[in-house]
Structure 1
Amino acid sequence: MIDRTSSPVRSAHVGQHVMIWLEQVKGASLGELDNFGDEGTVEQVMKVWVKLSLLISRRRPEIAVSSLLKHVLPGIGSQPLKNLTRLRLNRLYNILIAEGKKEEARRVFALTKQFLAWAEMQGYLDHSPIASMKKRDVAGRASPPRSRQLSDAEIWVFWHGLDNWALSEQARWALRLCLVSARRPDEIVQAQKAEFDLQLELWKQGTRNKSQREHVLPISPLMRQCIEALMQAADPDSPWLVPAPRDPQQPLSKGALNQALRRMIRAPRGLGLEAFTPRDLRRTARSKLSALDTPNDVARKIMNHALEGIDRVYDTHDYLSQMRIAMNRFSAAVEQIIACESYHQLQHRYEGETLLLDERAIMAMAR
């Protein structure tokens, strides 16, 4: 029985029931969890695995636990682990595949394979029934990584198109901030006002990011313009940079920016551009940094990616001064793009190629 009287640590990524389950595993002693002899159920052994392996090896174990609680334990949690078969496990994955959730099926497969390999190594299981399976055996090969990035002409249409669409000020400037800060959309909407030091021109994000690495980002002129616009539009009593419109004490939902951009792209009189997402704005920023000859180590620091090879262990330099130079150059490049009178003056994908918009698009212009 789950004790709901306690107040577990909250997470922006999973439901409270996941954190309650995880806190119970954390709080239990190993003797309390591993008390079932040689014939444990899937859930009993999985709790031991979570305590001894998942909590130690994962930055965000709650995300993995959320998948297990939703897709694995309801179906096989009460079964004896040693009775588990490949067919029974594939039926779990097949349910997700039939629902079109191929990536989730692969994720659940990877988690169960990791769990069963650990159980075999520990001796809870003689042999993992899916040891010979690979991720490509579940729902076929994964889709290739996205490569969509905006050209200079598309950046112009995106930036000015936001002013010609019925959007809230929060969504308008948050989308722009995704581009000029090279941040993930959830890092924008989950940001608190206190993170921004406009006097020092620093965004002190801390560990509130995908990698959970401490991160500080210099604030460029265009970033500052976006941040100030968001602070002006936000409820003054809200701690959030982008508060929810109906409850300023909560941040804007993580899907709101995706939804707003999707509507602008799909509408007959929308942007008229090939589909893209807020994540593609981050990829656009990274590509622009390369085009501006930003050293790779500096660009990786801006993106908050780990340095490569031995440098990730020994290079502890913060790169702040180099990051500031790079971010200011990127800001100036975007300012130069949006200052043009028309997207026709800007390069599209290749030299000499111009962007052609449907005549119904809100930013379509005659040459």
Structure 2
Amino acid sequence: MQLQHWLRAVENDEAPTVRDPETQEVTVLPVPLARSDGDGLTFTLSKSGTASWILRYRYGGRVRELTLGNYPDLGLAAARKIAREKRVEIDRGGDPAADKRRAVSMTLKDWTVRRLIEDYRDKILADLGKSTQSGYGRNLLRIENRLGALAVSQVSSMDIVELIEYVDAPWNESRMLLSTARMLFRHAAGRKLVPANPCAGIELAALLGRRPPVRLRLMLSEAELKILFSAEMNRENCLAVRLLLGTAVRSDELRNAQWEQFDFAASVWSVPSTKTGPGMQIPLSEPVVNWLKELKTLSGDSAYILPSRAERRKAKFGGDAPINPNTIGAAIEFWITEHKPAIRRFTPHDLRSTAKSHMRALGIGRDITEMCLNHKLPGIEGIYDVHTYFSERREALAIWGAYLQRLELPQS
């Protein structure tokens, strides 16, 4: 009854008390509270109202503490019984506190890779950037499908090598897979589930050979641009290609653009967010404004400048959605494959390098072209120079737009 009184008092933000049986004097007890029952068994009560039974004993000359359980789940009689049993173990040379720690450790070592992945998703992946979440998330599924049932402590470097060989992905994707596995088992090592990261020492070049040469961005020539302007494509795709050239934005920025972001009176597009961080204002040249206005007549009542026509995709996004991330690239690829124009195979991202290179050829400074592409300036300058170069970018994009407009005119 006394223990229950103390527990209720702390739970009600009151001080526990004890009455002297002879003098009837009431004494206020300090919290946290620790009261010995004898032979090392101690009742403890924290300020938060957690009551526990602790067995204190000495082992190897040092004081040890073993938590037997919480009160009132474990009553006084049961706590005394367990304490007697543990003291027998101690008298025989045992160390029950160390045994309990080892048992907890072994429970962690019984984790499967699937459970480790769940823990990693919850504690690490959720705080990473969206693109990293996408890449790691894709490869975590591959790891789970292949190694999910294995105990984390049993995973060896051979399992990681076998995983990479089984997935048989291209070089760059295999690198992402190895990187994901390395970060996953780094998390396991941090939790003391493994003594060392099984990915340590694995070299992708030893498994797949040297990394293939990185594809260089190409610049379409003036002749190729003229062919591109006469491409036999869906009109929305033709306009999308022109806008990528005229604004030098990333394809994701264009396909996710909404009409509310455009101020035609000021000829400005306010991009809310970009790959490099905060959003920025993009000056719109005369031909870009004209292309946008034409696109407006084709987009209907959609909020997006490039709306999806696929009913399934629109339903997935609540009735209105931008085009698929691959739509523009697929349209370009289809045109090149089917019509075989006299043009090198290129991607939407190559249109950015095309814009930059031609602007440089038109006499526009390097730093201004970098800012037109929304690239950060290198080194210390990129840290301290917060000027947006808006007027300089407007002039540069106007020069570039006029050049594109000349190429768009029918050739005599």
State the TM-score, normalizing by the size of structure 1.
Answer: 0.73
User: Match for residue 353 of structure 1?
Assistant: none
Which stretch has the larger CA shift, 213-222 or 150-159? Answer: 213-222
Counterpart mapping for 1:1-367 below 5 A:
37-97=108-168, 101-121=170-190, 123-140=192-209, 141-160=211-230, 162=231, 165=232, 167-207=233-273, 209-235=274-300, 237-247=301-311, 249-267=320-338, 269-339=339-409, 341=411
8 Å contact from structure 2 (residues 244, 351) kept in 1: yes
> Shift of residue 38 of structure 1?
4.4
* Count of residue pairs the alignment pairs up: 300
Distance 1:134 1:308, change over 3 A: farther
> Shift of residue 329 of structure 1?
1.5
8 Å contact from structure 2 (residues 307, 323) kept in 1: yes
8 Å contact from structure 1 (residues 96, 102) kept in 2: no
Q: Deviations over 1:129-184 (max 9, x none)?
A: 22122443453314413332200111111112x2xx2x332112111111111122
8 Å contact from structure 1 (residues 109, 138) kept in 2: no
8 Å contact from structure 1 (residues 105, 138) kept in 2: no
User: Match for residue 351 of structure 1?
Assistant: none
State the TM-score, normalizing by the size of structure 2.
Answer: 0.66
**Percent identity between the two aligned chains:** 22
Q: Deviations over 1:93-133 (max 9, x none)?
A: 22332xx5433222111221233334435533212222122
C-alpha distance in 2 between matches for 1:310 and 1:55? 31
CA RMSD between the two structures: 2.7
The SS at the match of 1:245 is: coil
8 Å contact from structure 1 (residues 170, 242) kept in 2: yes
Distance 1:56 1:231, change over 3 A: same
8 Å contact from structure 2 (residues 125, 133) kept in 1: no
C-alpha distance in 2 between matches for 1:310 and 1:120? 37
The SS at the match of 1:276 is: coil
The SS at the match of 1:203 is: strand
8 Å contact from structure 2 (residues 136, 180) kept in 1: no
8 Å contact from structure 2 (residues 110, 153) kept in 1: yes
8 Å contact from structure 1 (residues 96, 104) kept in 2: no
> Shift of residue 216 of structure 1?
2.2
> Shift of residue 340 of structure 1?
7.0
Bigger proportion of residues as strand: 2
> Shift of residue 303 of structure 1?
1.6
AA of the residue aligned to 1:123: K
> Shift of residue 254 of structure 1?
1.9
Q: Which has the higher contact order (CA 8 A, sep 6+)?
A: 1
C-alpha distance in 2 between matches for 1:59 and 1:271? 37
8 Å contact from structure 2 (residues 224, 342) kept in 1: no
AA of the residue aligned to 1:72: I
8 Å contact from structure 2 (residues 140, 180) kept in 1: no
C-alpha distance in 1 between matches for 2:172 and 2:354? 24
AA of the residue aligned to 2:399: R
The SS at the match of 2:242 is: helix
C-alpha distance in 2 between matches for 1:134 and 1:197? 52
Q: Deviations over 1:174-222 (max 9, x none)?
A: 1111111112223222221112111121111111x43443232111122
> Shift of residue 47 of structure 1?
4.0
Q: Deviations over 1:249-289 (max 9, x none)?
A: 2222222222221121112x442322112221122112122
> Shift of residue 238 of structure 1?
0.9
C-alpha distance in 2 between matches for 1:292 and 1:314? 28
For structure 2, the residue ranges without an aligned partner over 5 or more in a row are 1-104, 315-319
AA of the residue aligned to 1:149: M
Distance 1:255 1:144, change over 3 A: same
8 Å contact from structure 1 (residues 86, 130) kept in 2: yes
For structure 1, the residue ranges without an aligned partner over 5 or more in a row are 1-33, 343-367
8 Å contact from structure 1 (residues 213, 304) kept in 2: no
Q: Deviations over 1:62-99 (max 9, x none)?
A: 313431343111221332222111221122222332xx
The SS at the match of 2:341 is: coil
User: Match for residue 16 of structure 2?
Assistant: none
8 Å contact from structure 1 (residues 234, 242) kept in 2: yes
User: Match for residue 41 of structure 2?
Assistant: none
C-alpha distance in 1 between matches for 2:200 and 2:161? 13
